[in-house]
Structure 1
Protein backbone atom coordinates (compact mmCIF):
# COMPACT_ATOMS: atom_id res chain seq x y z
CA UNK A 1 0.00 0.00 0.00
CA UNK A 2 1.48 3.36 -1.01
CA UNK A 3 2.30 5.79 1.78
CA UNK A 4 0.68 9.18 2.20
CA UNK A 5 2.68 11.80 0.24
CA UNK A 6 4.57 14.27 2.42
CA UNK A 7 2.95 17.68 2.65
CA UNK A 8 5.38 20.40 1.68
CA UNK A 9 5.54 23.42 3.96
CA UNK A 10 6.41 25.63 0.97
CA UNK A 11 3.36 26.04 -1.27
CA UNK A 12 2.24 27.89 -4.38
CA UNK A 13 0.81 30.51 -2.04
CA UNK A 14 4.29 31.31 -0.76
CA UNK A 15 5.77 31.31 -4.25
CA UNK A 16 3.04 33.70 -5.40
CA UNK A 17 4.32 36.42 -3.10
CA UNK A 18 7.78 36.46 -4.69
CA UNK A 19 7.30 37.44 -8.31
CA UNK A 20 9.45 39.44 -10.76
CA UNK A 21 8.26 43.01 -11.24
CA UNK A 22 9.79 45.36 -13.76
CA UNK A 23 12.53 42.86 -14.60
CA UNK A 24 13.70 42.60 -18.19
CA UNK A 25 13.31 39.17 -19.81
CA UNK A 26 16.08 39.92 -22.31
CA UNK A 27 19.22 37.81 -22.13
CA UNK A 28 21.49 39.76 -19.76
CA UNK A 29 25.11 40.56 -20.48
CA UNK A 30 27.58 38.05 -19.01
CA UNK A 31 29.41 38.89 -15.80
CA UNK A 32 32.85 40.47 -15.97
CA UNK A 33 35.47 37.99 -17.11
CA UNK A 34 32.95 35.83 -19.01
CA UNK A 35 31.56 35.90 -22.53
CA UNK A 36 28.52 34.61 -24.39
CA UNK A 37 29.37 31.21 -25.85
CA UNK A 38 29.12 30.83 -29.62
CA UNK A 39 27.57 27.86 -31.41
CA UNK A 40 31.05 26.90 -32.60
CA UNK A 41 32.33 26.84 -29.01
CA UNK A 42 29.41 24.67 -27.93
CA UNK A 43 30.00 22.32 -30.85
CA UNK A 44 33.65 22.01 -29.85
CA UNK A 45 32.57 21.04 -26.32
CA UNK A 46 30.23 18.40 -27.76
CA UNK A 47 33.07 16.96 -29.85
CA UNK A 48 35.33 16.88 -26.80
CA UNK A 49 32.72 15.18 -24.61
CA UNK A 50 31.33 12.66 -27.09
CA UNK A 51 34.04 12.12 -29.69
CA UNK A 52 33.48 11.40 -33.39
CA UNK A 53 31.92 7.92 -33.05
CA UNK A 54 28.62 8.71 -31.33
CA UNK A 55 25.99 7.79 -33.92
CA UNK A 56 25.03 4.47 -32.34
CA UNK A 57 25.90 5.07 -28.69
CA UNK A 58 23.61 5.82 -25.78
CA UNK A 59 24.01 9.33 -24.38
CA UNK A 60 22.51 9.93 -20.94
CA UNK A 61 22.12 13.15 -18.95
CA UNK A 62 21.92 13.12 -15.14
CA UNK A 63 19.52 15.80 -13.88
CA UNK A 64 19.50 16.92 -10.26
CA UNK A 65 17.80 20.36 -10.32
CA UNK A 66 15.73 22.31 -12.81
CA UNK A 67 16.53 19.87 -15.64
CA UNK A 68 14.27 17.43 -13.77
CA UNK A 69 11.17 19.59 -14.14
CA UNK A 70 12.17 21.53 -17.23
CA UNK A 71 14.38 19.39 -19.48
CA UNK A 72 16.39 21.41 -21.98
CA UNK A 73 15.84 18.94 -24.82
CA UNK A 74 13.95 15.87 -25.95
CA UNK A 75 14.60 12.43 -24.49
CA UNK A 76 13.45 8.89 -25.28
CA UNK A 77 13.84 7.27 -21.87
CA UNK A 78 14.04 8.36 -18.24
CA UNK A 79 14.80 6.56 -15.02
CA UNK A 80 15.87 7.37 -11.48
CA UNK A 81 19.57 7.15 -10.76
CA UNK A 82 22.06 7.45 -7.91
CA UNK A 83 25.47 9.08 -8.26
CA UNK A 84 28.12 8.53 -5.59
CA UNK A 85 30.83 11.07 -4.83
CA UNK A 86 28.67 14.12 -5.51
CA UNK A 87 25.79 15.80 -3.69
CA UNK A 88 23.16 18.38 -4.61
CA UNK A 89 23.94 21.79 -3.06
CA UNK A 90 23.05 25.46 -3.36
CA UNK A 91 26.66 26.37 -4.03
CA UNK A 92 26.55 28.28 -7.35
CA UNK A 93 26.48 32.02 -6.76
CA UNK A 94 25.83 34.75 -6.97
CA UNK A 95 23.00 34.97 -9.49
CA UNK A 96 21.89 38.57 -10.02
CA UNK A 97 20.35 37.98 -13.45
CA UNK A 98 18.09 34.96 -13.96
CA UNK A 99 16.73 34.27 -10.46
CA UNK A 100 18.24 37.12 -8.50
CA UNK A 101 19.10 40.80 -8.51
CA UNK A 102 21.92 43.04 -7.36
CA UNK A 103 19.96 43.70 -4.16
CA UNK A 104 19.04 40.05 -3.55
CA UNK A 105 21.26 37.68 -5.54
CA UNK A 106 20.30 34.03 -5.79
CA UNK A 107 22.04 30.72 -5.24
CA UNK A 108 21.62 27.92 -7.77
CA UNK A 109 21.99 24.17 -7.43
CA UNK A 110 25.07 22.34 -8.66
CA UNK A 111 26.72 19.07 -7.77
CA UNK A 112 29.49 19.46 -5.19
CA UNK A 113 32.03 16.88 -4.12
CA UNK A 114 31.19 14.29 -1.48
CA UNK A 115 28.18 12.23 -0.50
CA UNK A 116 25.64 10.96 -3.01
CA UNK A 117 22.79 12.32 -5.10
CA UNK A 118 19.55 10.81 -6.37
CA UNK A 119 18.24 12.31 -9.58
CA UNK A 120 16.84 11.52 -13.00
CA UNK A 121 18.61 10.03 -16.00
CA UNK A 122 17.48 11.10 -19.47
CA UNK A 123 18.55 9.24 -22.61
CA UNK A 124 18.87 11.46 -25.66
CA UNK A 125 17.32 10.48 -29.02
CA UNK A 126 20.09 8.61 -30.87
CA UNK A 127 19.30 10.36 -34.16
CA UNK A 128 19.40 13.87 -32.61
CA UNK A 129 22.24 13.74 -30.14
CA UNK A 130 24.04 16.84 -31.41
CA UNK A 131 20.85 18.88 -31.64
CA UNK A 132 19.83 17.96 -28.09
CA UNK A 133 23.32 18.50 -26.72
CA UNK A 134 23.43 21.94 -28.34
CA UNK A 135 20.13 22.90 -26.67
CA UNK A 136 21.41 21.61 -23.34
CA UNK A 137 24.67 23.56 -23.51
CA UNK A 138 22.94 26.73 -24.69
CA UNK A 139 20.85 26.64 -21.53
CA UNK A 140 23.39 25.41 -18.99
CA UNK A 141 26.53 26.98 -20.46
CA UNK A 142 25.36 30.21 -22.06
CA UNK A 143 28.49 31.92 -20.74
CA UNK A 144 32.09 30.78 -20.72
CA UNK A 145 34.17 29.84 -18.86
CA UNK A 146 31.52 27.79 -17.06
CA UNK A 147 31.38 27.71 -13.27
CA UNK A 148 29.83 24.24 -13.45
CA UNK A 149 31.23 22.47 -16.52
CA UNK A 150 29.87 19.14 -17.75
CA UNK A 151 31.60 15.95 -16.72
CA UNK A 152 31.01 12.22 -16.87
CA UNK A 153 29.72 10.39 -13.78
CA UNK A 154 28.59 6.84 -13.06
CA UNK A 155 24.93 6.57 -12.06
CA UNK A 156 23.42 3.43 -10.59
CA UNK A 157 19.90 2.68 -11.84
CA UNK A 158 18.38 -0.67 -10.94
CA UNK A 159 20.86 -3.33 -12.01
CA UNK A 160 22.63 -0.98 -14.43
CA UNK A 161 25.54 1.41 -14.07
CA UNK A 162 25.05 4.19 -16.60
CA UNK A 163 27.72 6.62 -17.72
CA UNK A 164 26.04 10.03 -17.84
CA UNK A 165 26.85 13.69 -18.36
CA UNK A 166 26.03 16.14 -15.61
CA UNK A 167 27.12 19.57 -14.34
CA UNK A 168 29.43 19.86 -11.33
CA UNK A 169 30.69 22.97 -9.59
CA UNK A 170 34.22 24.15 -10.30
CA UNK A 171 35.44 25.08 -6.82
CA UNK A 172 38.08 27.35 -8.36
CA UNK A 173 35.66 29.30 -10.56
CA UNK A 174 35.10 32.22 -8.19
CA UNK A 175 31.37 31.46 -8.13
CA UNK A 176 31.66 28.61 -5.64
CA UNK A 177 29.82 29.39 -2.40
CA UNK A 178 30.28 27.23 0.69
CA UNK A 179 30.05 27.41 4.46
CA UNK A 180 26.56 28.94 4.67
CA UNK A 181 24.14 27.66 7.28
CA UNK A 182 20.74 26.33 6.24
CA UNK A 183 19.15 29.46 7.72
CA UNK A 184 21.42 31.71 5.64
CA UNK A 185 20.66 29.76 2.45
CA UNK A 186 16.93 29.85 3.17
CA UNK A 187 17.03 33.62 3.65
CA UNK A 188 18.66 33.99 0.22
CA UNK A 189 16.16 31.67 -1.47
CA UNK A 190 13.19 33.45 0.10
CA UNK A 191 14.19 36.86 -1.30
CA UNK A 192 15.94 36.33 -4.64
CA UNK A 193 13.93 36.93 -7.81
CA UNK A 194 14.95 37.70 -11.40
CA UNK A 195 13.85 37.53 -15.02
CA UNK A 196 13.22 33.76 -14.91
CA UNK A 197 11.37 33.83 -11.62
CA UNK A 198 12.20 33.41 -7.96
CA UNK A 199 14.47 31.08 -6.08
CA UNK A 200 11.44 30.08 -4.01
CA UNK A 201 9.78 28.84 -7.20
CA UNK A 202 12.97 27.01 -8.21
CA UNK A 203 13.14 25.24 -4.83
CA UNK A 204 9.41 24.49 -4.77
CA UNK A 205 9.42 22.89 -8.24
CA UNK A 206 12.57 20.87 -7.54
CA UNK A 207 11.35 19.41 -4.25
CA UNK A 208 7.85 18.80 -5.62
CA UNK A 209 9.13 16.83 -8.59
CA UNK A 210 11.68 14.89 -6.57
CA UNK A 211 8.98 13.81 -4.13
CA UNK A 212 6.65 12.85 -6.99
CA UNK A 213 9.36 10.52 -8.27
CA UNK A 214 9.91 8.98 -4.85
CA UNK A 215 13.16 10.85 -4.20
CA UNK A 216 13.38 12.48 -0.78
CA UNK A 217 16.23 14.92 -0.27
CA UNK A 218 16.39 15.71 3.49
CA UNK A 219 18.46 18.87 2.98
CA UNK A 220 16.10 20.37 0.39
CA UNK A 221 13.14 19.30 2.51
CA UNK A 222 14.53 21.27 5.44
CA UNK A 223 15.23 24.27 3.21
CA UNK A 224 11.72 24.40 1.78
CA UNK A 225 10.26 24.60 5.29
CA UNK A 226 12.67 27.36 6.28
CA UNK A 227 11.95 29.32 3.09
CA UNK A 228 8.22 29.12 3.80
CA UNK A 229 8.88 30.51 7.30
CA UNK A 230 10.88 33.43 5.89
CA UNK A 231 8.23 34.29 3.28
CA UNK A 232 5.43 34.17 5.84
CA UNK A 233 7.39 36.43 8.17
CA UNK A 234 7.84 38.95 5.34
CA UNK A 235 4.40 38.82 3.71
CA UNK A 236 2.08 37.44 6.41
CA UNK A 237 3.38 38.94 9.65
CA UNK A 238 -0.04 38.72 11.34
CA UNK A 239 -0.96 35.25 10.09
Structure 2
Protein backbone atom coordinates (compact mmCIF):
# COMPACT_ATOMS: atom_id res chain seq x y z
CA UNK A 1 0.00 0.00 0.00
CA UNK A 2 1.51 3.30 -1.08
CA UNK A 3 1.48 6.44 1.04
CA UNK A 4 -1.11 9.07 0.12
CA UNK A 5 -0.06 12.59 -0.79
CA UNK A 6 -0.87 14.95 2.06
CA UNK A 7 0.18 18.36 3.32
CA UNK A 8 3.40 18.13 5.29
CA UNK A 9 4.07 20.00 8.51
CA UNK A 10 7.11 22.24 8.16
CA UNK A 11 9.30 22.94 11.19
CA UNK A 12 9.58 26.61 10.27
CA UNK A 13 5.84 26.97 10.87
CA UNK A 14 6.25 25.93 14.50
CA UNK A 15 6.83 29.25 16.19
CA UNK A 16 4.93 31.10 18.88
CA UNK A 17 3.27 33.55 16.49
CA UNK A 18 2.03 30.82 14.15
CA UNK A 19 0.69 28.70 17.00
CA UNK A 20 -1.23 31.66 18.43
CA UNK A 21 -2.62 32.39 14.96
CA UNK A 22 -3.89 28.80 14.67
CA UNK A 23 -5.58 29.07 18.05
CA UNK A 24 -7.28 32.34 17.11
CA UNK A 25 -8.46 30.82 13.83
CA UNK A 26 -9.87 27.75 15.61
CA UNK A 27 -11.76 29.94 18.11
CA UNK A 28 -13.53 31.77 15.30
CA UNK A 29 -15.54 28.59 14.80
CA UNK A 30 -16.41 27.92 18.42
CA UNK A 31 -14.82 27.08 21.79
CA UNK A 32 -11.31 25.66 21.50
CA UNK A 33 -9.34 24.64 24.57
CA UNK A 34 -5.68 25.60 24.20
CA UNK A 35 -2.63 25.98 26.41
CA UNK A 36 -0.97 29.36 26.69
CA UNK A 37 2.66 29.62 25.66
CA UNK A 38 3.72 29.67 29.31
CA UNK A 39 1.53 26.67 30.18
CA UNK A 40 2.90 24.71 27.25
CA UNK A 41 6.50 25.56 28.13
CA UNK A 42 5.87 24.61 31.77
CA UNK A 43 4.89 21.07 30.74
CA UNK A 44 8.01 20.80 28.56
CA UNK A 45 10.34 21.94 31.31
CA UNK A 46 8.60 19.62 33.77
CA UNK A 47 9.30 16.66 31.51
CA UNK A 48 12.89 17.64 30.74
CA UNK A 49 13.64 18.07 34.44
CA UNK A 50 13.44 14.28 34.69
CA UNK A 51 15.63 13.64 31.66
CA UNK A 52 19.30 12.91 32.38
CA UNK A 53 21.49 15.80 31.27
CA UNK A 54 23.92 14.97 28.50
CA UNK A 55 21.86 11.99 27.32
CA UNK A 56 20.15 11.78 23.94
CA UNK A 57 16.36 11.71 23.95
CA UNK A 58 14.29 8.95 22.33
CA UNK A 59 10.80 9.93 21.11
CA UNK A 60 8.13 7.34 20.26
CA UNK A 61 5.93 8.07 17.22
CA UNK A 62 2.76 6.17 16.34
CA UNK A 63 0.78 8.39 13.91
CA UNK A 64 1.89 11.25 11.70
CA UNK A 65 5.28 11.33 13.42
CA UNK A 66 5.99 8.15 11.44
CA UNK A 67 6.31 10.15 8.21
CA UNK A 68 6.37 13.81 9.21
CA UNK A 69 8.14 14.41 12.55
CA UNK A 70 9.22 18.00 11.67
CA UNK A 71 12.00 17.87 14.29
CA UNK A 72 15.63 16.93 13.67
CA UNK A 73 16.85 13.50 14.77
CA UNK A 74 19.99 11.42 14.28
CA UNK A 75 18.55 7.90 14.41
CA UNK A 76 15.23 6.20 13.78
CA UNK A 77 14.37 2.60 14.66
CA UNK A 78 11.27 0.39 14.82
CA UNK A 79 9.94 0.34 18.37
CA UNK A 80 7.21 -1.24 20.44
CA UNK A 81 5.49 0.35 23.40
CA UNK A 82 3.59 -1.64 26.01
CA UNK A 83 0.66 -0.42 28.09
CA UNK A 84 -0.86 1.82 25.42
CA UNK A 85 -2.67 1.22 22.14
CA UNK A 86 -3.20 3.33 19.04
CA UNK A 87 -6.84 4.51 18.87
CA UNK A 88 -8.90 7.17 17.12
CA UNK A 89 -10.19 8.88 20.26
CA UNK A 90 -9.32 12.56 19.80
CA UNK A 91 -11.90 14.80 18.18
CA UNK A 92 -10.36 17.15 15.60
CA UNK A 93 -11.73 20.55 14.62
CA UNK A 94 -8.45 21.90 13.18
CA UNK A 95 -5.73 20.25 11.13
CA UNK A 96 -7.66 17.30 9.72
CA UNK A 97 -11.05 18.45 10.89
CA UNK A 98 -13.22 21.56 10.81
CA UNK A 99 -16.51 22.79 12.22
CA UNK A 100 -18.27 21.67 9.02
CA UNK A 101 -16.37 18.39 8.66
CA UNK A 102 -15.10 17.28 12.09
CA UNK A 103 -12.66 14.43 12.23
CA UNK A 104 -10.73 12.15 14.54
CA UNK A 105 -7.04 11.84 15.31
CA UNK A 106 -5.03 8.98 16.72
CA UNK A 107 -3.83 9.00 20.28
CA UNK A 108 -2.22 6.50 22.63
CA UNK A 109 -4.93 5.26 24.97
CA UNK A 110 -4.57 2.87 27.87
CA UNK A 111 -4.17 -0.87 27.36
CA UNK A 112 -2.47 -3.24 24.95
CA UNK A 113 0.67 -2.37 22.99
CA UNK A 114 1.66 -0.31 19.98
CA UNK A 115 4.25 -0.60 17.21
CA UNK A 116 5.80 2.57 15.89
CA UNK A 117 9.13 4.32 15.45
CA UNK A 118 11.63 5.68 17.95
CA UNK A 119 13.50 8.84 16.97
CA UNK A 120 16.71 9.81 18.74
CA UNK A 121 17.41 13.51 19.32
CA UNK A 122 21.01 14.24 20.19
CA UNK A 123 21.53 15.82 23.58
CA UNK A 124 22.82 19.18 22.31
CA UNK A 125 19.63 19.71 20.29
CA UNK A 126 17.07 18.59 22.87
CA UNK A 127 16.13 22.15 23.83
CA UNK A 128 15.47 23.37 20.28
CA UNK A 129 13.84 20.16 19.01
CA UNK A 130 11.53 19.62 21.98
CA UNK A 131 10.38 23.21 21.61
CA UNK A 132 9.31 22.31 18.06
CA UNK A 133 7.81 19.03 19.26
CA UNK A 134 5.76 20.68 22.01
CA UNK A 135 4.33 23.23 19.58
CA UNK A 136 3.45 20.34 17.29
CA UNK A 137 1.82 18.10 19.89
CA UNK A 138 0.75 20.27 22.81
CA UNK A 139 -1.22 23.20 21.39
CA UNK A 140 -4.41 22.15 23.14
CA UNK A 141 -3.10 20.02 26.00
CA UNK A 142 -4.89 16.97 24.64
CA UNK A 143 -1.85 14.83 25.43
CA UNK A 144 0.29 14.21 28.48
CA UNK A 145 4.06 14.01 27.99
CA UNK A 146 5.12 10.71 29.54
CA UNK A 147 8.38 8.87 30.09
CA UNK A 148 7.99 5.31 28.82
CA UNK A 149 10.03 2.21 28.06
CA UNK A 150 10.17 1.26 24.39
CA UNK A 151 11.56 -1.92 22.88
CA UNK A 152 13.93 -1.41 19.93
CA UNK A 153 15.28 -4.26 17.76
CA UNK A 154 18.38 -4.76 19.92
CA UNK A 155 17.68 -3.00 23.21
CA UNK A 156 15.08 -1.36 25.41
CA UNK A 157 15.31 2.37 26.08
CA UNK A 158 13.48 5.00 28.08
CA UNK A 159 12.07 7.96 26.24
CA UNK A 160 9.23 10.38 25.56
CA UNK A 161 5.83 9.88 24.09
CA UNK A 162 2.52 11.72 24.22
CA UNK A 163 -0.43 9.78 25.64
CA UNK A 164 -4.09 10.74 25.64
CA UNK A 165 -5.19 13.16 28.34
CA UNK A 166 -8.47 11.50 29.29
CA UNK A 167 -9.68 14.65 31.04
CA UNK A 168 -9.45 16.74 27.89
CA UNK A 169 -12.79 17.91 26.44
CA UNK A 170 -11.95 16.45 23.01
CA UNK A 171 -11.32 12.94 24.33
CA UNK A 172 -13.88 10.43 23.07
CA UNK A 173 -14.10 7.42 25.35
CA UNK A 174 -16.58 5.17 23.59
CA UNK A 175 -17.12 5.23 19.84
CA UNK A 176 -17.82 2.07 17.87
CA UNK A 177 -16.04 1.15 14.65
CA UNK A 178 -18.91 2.24 12.40
CA UNK A 179 -19.15 5.71 13.92
CA UNK A 180 -15.37 6.05 13.88
CA UNK A 181 -15.22 5.09 10.20
CA UNK A 182 -17.92 7.64 9.30
CA UNK A 183 -15.89 10.46 10.84
CA UNK A 184 -12.72 9.25 9.11
CA UNK A 185 -14.55 9.10 5.78
CA UNK A 186 -15.73 12.72 6.01
CA UNK A 187 -13.32 14.60 8.31
CA UNK A 188 -11.25 17.29 6.59
CA UNK A 189 -9.29 20.39 7.55
CA UNK A 190 -6.45 22.60 6.31
CA UNK A 191 -3.91 19.75 6.61
CA UNK A 192 -6.02 17.34 4.59
CA UNK A 193 -8.47 14.54 5.27
CA UNK A 194 -8.71 11.98 8.04
CA UNK A 195 -8.85 9.34 5.33
CA UNK A 196 -5.36 10.37 4.11
CA UNK A 197 -4.12 10.30 7.69
CA UNK A 198 -5.44 6.77 8.19
CA UNK A 199 -3.99 5.46 4.94
CA UNK A 200 -0.62 7.13 5.51
CA UNK A 201 -0.36 5.56 8.93
CA UNK A 202 -1.17 2.12 7.51
CA UNK A 203 1.31 2.56 4.64
CA UNK A 204 4.21 3.59 6.84
CA UNK A 205 3.56 0.79 9.30
CA UNK A 206 3.53 -1.66 6.40
CA UNK A 207 6.94 -0.32 5.32
CA UNK A 208 8.08 -1.56 8.74
CA UNK A 209 6.28 -4.89 8.13
CA UNK A 210 3.70 -4.04 10.78
CA UNK A 211 0.03 -4.75 10.16
CA UNK A 212 -2.27 -2.99 12.59
CA UNK A 213 -5.54 -4.95 12.62
CA UNK A 214 -7.54 -2.07 14.07
CA UNK A 215 -6.43 0.37 11.34
CA UNK A 216 -7.08 -2.14 8.57
CA UNK A 217 -10.59 -2.82 9.88
CA UNK A 218 -11.28 0.91 9.84
CA UNK A 219 -9.91 1.24 6.31
CA UNK A 220 -12.26 -1.52 5.17
CA UNK A 221 -15.26 0.20 6.77
CA UNK A 222 -14.29 3.53 5.18
CA UNK A 223 -14.21 1.75 1.82
CA UNK A 224 -17.66 0.28 2.49
CA UNK A 225 -18.98 3.79 3.13
CA UNK A 226 -17.49 4.89 -0.20
CA UNK A 227 -19.11 1.97 -2.02
CA UNK A 228 -22.56 2.87 -0.67
CA UNK A 229 -22.32 6.63 -1.30
Q: Is the structural similarity TM-score above 0.5?
A: yes
Distance 1:186 1:65 in 2: 17
Q: Does the residue aligned with 1:172 lie in a helix, a strand or coil?
A: coil
- Count residues in correspondence: 211
State the match for 1:89 in structure 2: 87
Cα 1:180–1:135 change in 2 (3 A) is same
State the match for 1:44 in structure 2: 42
Matched, 1:142 2:123: no
Distance 1:54 1:42 in 2: 21
Q: Which has the larger radius of gyration?
A: 1
Cα 1:67–1:43 change in 2 (3 A) is same
Alignment of 1:156-195 (within 5 A): 156-195=151-190
Distance 1:96 1:79 in 2: 32
Q: CA RMSD in A?
A: 2.3
Alignment of 1:1-239 (within 5 A): 7=1, 27=22, 28-30=25-27, 32=31, 34-38=33-37, 40-51=38-49, 54-93=52-91, 95-143=92-140, 146-234=141-229
Distance 1:208 1:138 in 2: 26
Cα 1:132–1:222 change in 2 (3 A) is same
1:194-235 deviation line (CA, Å, top 9, x unaligned): 11110001111111001011111010011112212223433x
State the match for 2:11 in structure 1: none
Give the alignment's TM-score, normalised by structure 2. 0.84
Indicate the structure with greater helix content: 2
Contact 1:46 1:130 (8 Å CA) reproduced: no
Cα 1:122–1:168 change in 2 (3 A) is same
Distance 1:66 1:42 in 2: 21
Q: CA deviation at 1:52?
A: 8.0
**What stretches of structure 2 of length at least 5 have no aligned partner?**
7-20
Distance 1:115 1:221 in 2: 17
Cα 1:33–1:196 change in 2 (3 A) is closer
Distance 2:184 2:36 in 1: 28
1:41-60 deviation line (CA, Å, top 9, x unaligned): 44332321112875411211
Cα 1:152–1:12 change in 2 (3 A) is closer
Give the alignment's TM-score, normalised by structure 1. 0.80
Cα 1:52–1:90 change in 2 (3 A) is closer
Q: CA deviation at 1:77?
A: 0.6
**What stretches of structure 1 of length at least 5 have no aligned partner?**
1-6, 16-25, 235-239
